[in-house]
Amino acid sequence: MNELRPNIVVMHCHDLGRFLGSYGYPTVRTPHLDAFAADGVRFSQAFAAAPQCSPSRAALFTGRWPHANGVLGLTHGSFAWNLQADEEHLGSRLQGRGYSTAMVGVHHESLAQPDSALATRLGFDHVDTSEVLAAPVADRAVGQLDLLASGARPFYLQVGFLEPHRIPGSRDPDGTMGFIGNHLEPDDANGVTIPAYLRDTPSSRAELAELQGAVRHMDIAAGRVLEHLERLGVADNTLVMFTTDHGLALPRAKCSLYDPGLEVALIVRYPQRGWSGGRIQDALVSNVDIVPTLLDLLDSRDTTLHGRSLLGLLDGAADPGRQEIFGEITYHDYYDPRRCVRTGAHKLIANFSSAYGFMDPSGSWNRRCIPKVPTAGATAYHPPIELYDLRDDPYELTNVAAQPEHAAIVADLARRLLSWMQETRDPLLNGAVTSPMHTRTVGILNAQGPSRAFD
């Protein structure tokens, strides 16, 4: 097979952040992905375009920011956000370049539709979203690899695992939603790691043990896919990428623009190109960079994409990488528009509503993990601007935006953020963004006809 056209496998999961042994969490047992990292290229400073599921995946698979590609919120149910009609998914781009394409497991980057409709819209020869739990998804991925590897064309396989997303189960404490559902077990065999932005309490330890168990389960499924590539003899000419959509589903992580919400694992291996050996790449990168990288590898480019190619970084060339990364959230559970810019030293967050200080991603009435800040809890609300000095405050616990000595940094980052919003035509600059639910509800009201005049 042509060396310039490798097979491509992208594995992604929900809500992982960088919670892997290879990213410095020794209590998280992930031997398969750790071995993969030791044999690939691990990006230590990779970030999502958005800290929630659908917008981040839409950026990952289109190479364009969520506010431009149309997915400003969740794509399932009555949320119903969708890619713009002219947006092209990675599957479609590769299908058009002669690849056999297949998707199994989690799909969450465009409007939820039957598999046949997704195949047509996104450019897949085969789509199977009937299972999303890691074990049966791995079964389907292995089956697809058997078919794809026997063909004459290079292939693209997209594999999505639900775990470690929160999953309700009968063992959940009253008023909570945990991580283990009815099919997983907690894992504290090596202890538990409490992220530094959370309080260390018995309840947080119990919840983190559940999370570690879910991550371990996902790792086993990912390992099955990796092992099958070796068994088929196609691993050397297959570019394998593992990543996730955003940070952990914990308070002040998922659904926030703090680093714990935007940080993602990103591991790439392509032995035939030399992307191997356990190299660590420390440059700032965004998941919006993935599609441009894959197109660049295939000697193809698209100037409408917002990401930048990582080909030089992966090849080991001298490349300074990005000077800053951007992040955004508009809708998730509710409307709470925020934008951010992050350099190696500072993070500036612009809040466009006076919503709560953080959006709680726990899906629980009773929160088992409690963040260290805000100390005011549910009575804390967004300030217009937040600034964090990441050198002294890596967990973004102290907002220094109002301190006079940081005025020049605030001004510089605010200019950069505004310029990015203008250049990418962020609709937030024109006022409040309305949701598909708003359009639907107005349509229902209008369908009832004009109201009767008051007497």
Q: Compute φ and ψ for 203, nearest 5 degrees.
A: -70, -35
Residue ranges matching CATH 3.40.720.10 in the chain: 7-322
Spatial separation of the C-alpha atoms in residues 415 and 151, rounded to whole Å: 51
CATH code for 326-439? Answer: 3.30.1120.10
Residue 377: per-residue pLDDT: 76
Count other Cβ atoms within 10 Å, centred on residue 273. 18
Burial of 26 (0-12, 13-18, 19+ CB in 10 A): exposed
Contact 424, 378 (CB under 8 A): no
Spatial separation of the C-alpha atoms in residues 325 and 49, rounded to whole Å: 8
Residue 339: per-residue pLDDT: 98
Residue ranges matching CATH 3.30.1120.10 in the chain: 326-439
Q: How far is CA 416 from CA 292, 348, 411, 423, in A?
A: 22, 10, 9, 10
Angle between helices 134-149 and 202-232 (to 10 degrees): 20
DSSP letter at 77 equals T
Class of domain 7-322: alpha beta
Spatial separation of the C-alpha atoms in residues 93 and 124, rounded to whole Å: 10
Return the structure tokens found at 352.
């466009």
Spatial separation of the C-alpha atoms in residues 72 and 56, rounded to whole Å: 9
Contact 144, 102 (CB under 8 A): yes
Contact 32, 40 (CB under 8 A): no
Nearest CA to 60 out of 116, 119, 106, 125 is that of 106
* Tokens 């809500």 found at: 15
Residue 330: per-residue pLDDT: 98
Contact 21, 30 (CB under 8 A): yes
Residue 4: per-residue pLDDT: 63
Please spell the DSSP secondary structure of 46-91, one letter per residue: EE-SSSSHHHHHHHHHHSS-HHHHS-SS--STTT-----TT---HH
Count other Cβ atoms within 10 Å, centred on residue 438. 12
pLDDT values of the chain reduced to their tens digit, one per residue, 455 residues: 345 699 999 999 999 999 999 999 999 999 999 999 999 999 999 999 999 999 999 999 999 999 999 999 999 999 999 999 999 999 999 999 999 999 999 999 999 999 999 999 999 999 999 999 999 999 999 999 999 999 999 999 999 999 999 999 999 999 999 999 999 999 999 999 999 999 999 999 999 999 999 999 999 999 999 999 999 999 999 999 999 999 999 999 999 999 999 999 999 999 999 999 999 999 999 999 999 999 999 999 899 999 999 999 999 998 888 999 999 999 999 999 999 999 999 999 999 999 999 899 999 999 999 999 988 877 899 999 999 999 999 999 999 999 999 999 999 999 999 999 999 999 999 999 999 999 999 999 999 877 655 44
Contact 33, 222 (CB under 8 A): yes
Q: Compute φ and ψ for 346, nearest 5 degrees.
A: -140, 160
Residue 224: per-residue pLDDT: 98
Residue 59: its H or E element: helix 53-62
Contact 229, 145 (CB under 8 A): yes
3-state DSSP call for residue 18?
coil
* Tokens 């990292």 found at: 37
Spatial separation of the C-alpha atoms in residues 69 and 441, rounded to whole Å: 23
Residue 74: per-residue pLDDT: 97
